[in-house]
């Protein structure tokens, strides 16, 4: 009996150790020391990869955490990995400890109970998060409920080479008219690439005027109204596609490839989901100094980038420490620097200590980055089911080989 009692008492702290309590931050930090975090994140940008490497260095210095980036082409691959592990009964020590995630992938993981949490609002640096003016508690209309933590703000901007396209274009119709006068000088990444699908969503939102149809975009796709709501999108793309680079018979595979086309003077207009990307690319000699950015008159789609922790991560404590560091003024300032990433911050400047606030105010955002005021109104993301459906339909209608 004494032996059994001793064994039971030994198992209790081990169970607690395996499932850290986000509200006991001192214990979280203690448990995190020595853990390795496998961060599954999009790996298509050298600048982003370098930033993640810097995060790893800082985590190692301050917390004894090893951060390994698993570079993804498609976030859905990490989601599938976790789902496969759950189906196989692998409920601990999974291959994925942290995921850079948004939209449909978050909705899928949340629906399938694949996430650890809630944890986000228990992070010490959550006190600085701008929950009032930024959509940090919703991800593509889905309530986050603390199951993911924000680390960057994104908003659609259009990059234009002012040498050939001096003035901003005010809406999607103006883009079509310019393309008609300048065939071959515009393109976007091939859907279902995230950035290419974002162009489809932005077009749909800009062409949808009626209030009831706008409201329908915030709800899951319905067969009753899908055809009517998307008809203007397909009519628009029927006109635009033949006017694109290579007559719409080929598309760049990724955002970086799109930038290369602009740098090579093959196109004059490109889409970005990072207001500071053009400035960063100019600083890295990936775009000419003549490139600037604009937003549409009615505003453009914006959202936050998040990180989430799978339910079967074996390094939950270190993953939370990583998420908390990404929310720190230090990491947010570095990410906003156009010489590093040029990402928008998720922090509330009024909530920061005076020294950190002054550092943000002193930061030069770069020659091609619009001020927060100039970015104008942020249009909400449609429900993630719209992104999935229109991407599938685009591939069927316009995909290479069709």
pLDDT in tens, 343-391: 889 999 999 999 999 999 999 999 999 987 788 888 888 998 999 999 9
Q: Is-contact 43 72, C-beta < 8 A?
A: yes
Tell how strand 157-161 and strand 269-272 pair up.
Answer: antiparallel
- Structural domains of the chain, with CATH: 31-152+305-362 (3.40.190.10), 157-302+377-398 (3.40.190.10)
The more confident residue out of 218 and 33 is: 33
Cα torsion angle, 352, 356, 361, 367, sign: negative
Average the pLDDT over 192-217 and give the result: 90
- How far apart CA 267 and CA 183 sit, in angstroms, is 10
Q: Is-contact 139 103, C-beta < 8 A?
A: yes
Of 66-75, 118-127, 367-376, where does mean pLDDT reach its minimum? 367-376
| Half-sphere exposure at residue 396, Cβ-oriented, CA atoms within 13 angstroms | 7
> Which residue in 249, 268, 18 sits closest to 159, CA to CA?
268
Tokens of 155: 């908003």
pLDDT over 70 (residue 7): no
Q: What is the mean pLDDT of the chain?
A: 91
> Which residue in 14, 40, 103, 75 sits closest to 322, CA to CA?
40
CA distances from 191 to 102, 184, 393 (A): 16, 18, 10
The pLDDT value recorded for residue 15 is 36
The residue ranges of DSSP E strands in 11-65, in sequence order, are 36-42
pLDDT over 60 (residue 11): no
Average the pLDDT over 247-257 and give the result: 95
Q: Which residues pair with 139 in a beta bridge?
A: 142
Query: Which helix or strand (DSSP H or E) is residue 149 part of?
Result: strand 148-155
pLDDT over 70 (residue 273): yes
Percent of the chain with pLDDT over 70: 95
Q: At what angle do helices 76-87 and 103-111 cross, to 10 degrees?
A: 10
**DSSP class of residue 377?**
P
- How far apart CA 283 and CA 203 sit, in angstroms, is 29
Tell how strand 291-294 and strand 300-308 pair up.
Answer: unpaired
What is the pTM (predicted TM-score) of this model? 0.78
């Amino acid at each position: 009996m004494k032996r059994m009692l001793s064994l039971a008492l030994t198992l209790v702290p081990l169970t607690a150790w395996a499932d850290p309590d986000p509200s006991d931050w001192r214990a979280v930090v203690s448990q995190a020391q020595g853990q390795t975090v496998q961060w599954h994140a999009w790996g298509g940008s050298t600048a982003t990869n370098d930033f993640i490497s810097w995060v790893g260095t800082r985590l190692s210095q301050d917390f004894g955490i090893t951060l390994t980036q698993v570079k993804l082409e498609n976030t859905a691959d990490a989601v599938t990995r976790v789902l496969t592990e759950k189906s196989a009964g692998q409920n601990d020590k999974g291959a994925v400890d942290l995921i850079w995630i948004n939209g449909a992938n978050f909705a899928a993981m949340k629906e399938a109970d694949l996430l650890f949490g809630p944890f986000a609002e228990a992070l010490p640096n959550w006190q600085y998060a701008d929950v009032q003016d930024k959509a940090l508690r919703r991800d593509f209309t889905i309530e986050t409920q603390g199951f993911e933590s924000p680390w960057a703000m994104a908003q659609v901007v259009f990059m234009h080479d002012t040498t050939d396209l001096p003035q901003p274009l005010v809406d999607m119709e103006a883009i079509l008219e310019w393309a008609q006068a300048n065939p071959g000088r515009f393109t976007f990444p091939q859907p279902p690439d995230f950035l290419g699908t974002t162009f489809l969503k932005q077009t749909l939102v800009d062409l949808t005027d009626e209030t009831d149809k706008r409201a329908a975009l915030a709800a899951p796709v319905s067969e009753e109204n899908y055809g009517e709501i998307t008809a203007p999108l397909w009519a628009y793309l029927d006109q635009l596609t033949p006017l694109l680079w290579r007559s719409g018979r080929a598309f760049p595979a990724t955002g970086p490839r799109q930038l290369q086309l602009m740098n090579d003077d093959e196109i004059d207009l490109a889409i970005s989901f990072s207001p500071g990307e053009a400035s960063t690319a100019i600083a890295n000699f990936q775009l000419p100094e003549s490139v600037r950015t604009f937003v549409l008159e009615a505003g453009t789609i914006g959202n936050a980038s998040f990180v989430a922790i799978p339910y079967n991560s074996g390094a939950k404590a270190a993953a939370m420490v990583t998420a908390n560091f990404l929310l720190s003024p230090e990491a947010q300032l570095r990410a906003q620097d156009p010489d590093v990433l040029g990402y928008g911050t998720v922090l509330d400047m009024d909530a920061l200590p005076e020294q950190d606030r002054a550092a943000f105010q002193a930061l030069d955002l770069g020659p091609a980055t619009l001020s927060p005021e100039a970015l104008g109104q942020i249009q909400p993301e449609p429900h993630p089911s719209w992104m999935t459906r229109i991407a599938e339909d685009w591939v069927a209608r316009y995909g290479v080989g069709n």
